[in-house]
Amino acid sequence: MAGFMTFLVLAFLVEVVTNLGKNYVKVLKPYTPWVAGVLGILLCIFTEASLFDANGISAAWAYADYGASGIIVARLAGIINDLSKKLG
């Protein structure tokens, strides 16, 4: 069972890796949201971090849960990126 801090750490990781990727591989810059989404989904699959399960909702298919969780992690990474731009 994953808590809020797990998803926050995953979002920070997605944000850092996505920023590094778009800085070193210029071709990825227009596709940053897609890269973050795929990375978020893969991290949720590999770590088995499931947002539905963390909230007591059982999903019939675990990979749908990981996919939804990964998309939310990617969006949270975007929010973290926006905040870091405003604060820094």
Report domain extents, the chain.
Answer: 4-87
Checking if the pLDDT of 3 tops 60, the result is yes
Do 63 and 45 contact (CB within 8 A), yes or no? yes
Residue 28 DSSP symbol: G
Q: What is the mean pLDDT of residues 77-84?
A: 94
Confidence of residue 40 (pLDDT cuts 50, 70, 90): very high
pLDDT of amino acid 20? 94
Report whether pLDDT(2) > 80.
no
pTM above 0.85, yes or no: yes
Q: Specify whether the CB–CB gap between 2 and 10 falls below 8 A.
A: no
Q: Is residue 1 predicted with pLDDT exceeding 60?
A: no
Strand ranges (DSSP E) for 40-87?
Answer: none
Considering only CA atoms, which of 36, 37, 46, 57 is closest in space to residue 6?
Answer: 46
Percent over 70 (pLDDT), the chain: 98
